[in-house]
Amino acid sequence: MEEEKIVYSRPQCSTHLSATEDALYVLGGRWTIRVMIAILGGHTRFNELQRTISGISARVLSSELKKLEVNHLVERTVIADQKPVLVEYVPTEYSESLKDVIAALADWGAKHKKKITV
């Protein structure tokens, strides 16, 4: 089977690089996509997220959640009418646009797991 090459003109290549750099700026951290997967999967409370994402520290999780909130991918909701006060991180409508990207990454990872060295 012959591989099909993708050929970009210089402006197209520049556009693709710029768009990819923008995406990686938001999603490129070590933990960012993991946090989004957990949130999109229905885990919304801080401690629940920390238990779900193996190896993430509370400080790093807090920082990731703040970045995701600033980039409008999660919304921090405080439920103050009960004790203790509940804080939930819920996906925004905008974050739904990541589902296909995350699914494609997961699919690629599953297909190439044997070739990937960690």
- 38-73 pLDDT tens trace: 999 999 999 999 999 999 999 999 999 999 999 999
Residue type at position 48: E
* pLDDT at residue 117, as a whole number: 74
In angstroms, the Cα distances linking 73 to 14, 69, 81, 95, 98 are: 26, 6, 25, 5, 9
Q: How many CB atoms lie within 10 A of CB 29?
A: 16
* More confident site: 80 or 7: 80
8 A C-beta contact, residue 53 and residue 105? no
Q: Which long-range contacts (CB under 8 A, 24 or more apart) does 46-50 make?
A: 46/87, 46/89, 49/89
